[in-house]
Amino acid sequence: MKEDDEENAQPDSSRLMLAYLCIATEKEASLERKVEILDRFGLTTAEISKVCGNTKQSIRNARHFLKKYGKRNKKAK
C-alpha cells in the first residue's frame, strides 16, 4: 500500500480489536516489539498508531529500527 492509501483505507474494527487484544498482554513491551507483532496482521501505519496510541511517525521510526537492527530476541538461558 502507498502512504496515500493508508489514510483513505477504512479500518476493520474487528481486526483492530484483535490486534489490540494481542498486544494488551505486552504492556511492558517496547514499541518496536508491538509493531513487530502488529505487522503480522498487515495493518497500516495509521491503524497501528491507533492501536498503540502513538503517532504515525513513532510507528515509522519503530519500523525503521526493526529494519536496521533486526528483530530483538531474548537471550537463550
For every residue of 4-47, DSSP letters joined together read HHHHHSPP-HHHHHHHHHHHHT-TTS-HHHHHHHHHTTT--HHH
Question: In the structure grid, which three cell numbers stand for residue 37, read together?
Answer: 507483532
Q: Looking at the predicted structure, is the pLDDT value of residue 72 above 90?
A: no
- Give domain limits for the chain: 11-69
Q: Say what the pTM is.
A: 0.73
Of residues 75 and 23, more confidence is placed in 23
Torsion over CA: 37, 43, 63, 69 (sign): positive
Tell me the pLDDT tens digit for each residue of 4-57: 555 555 558 888 898 899 898 877 889 999 999 999 888 999 999 999 999 999
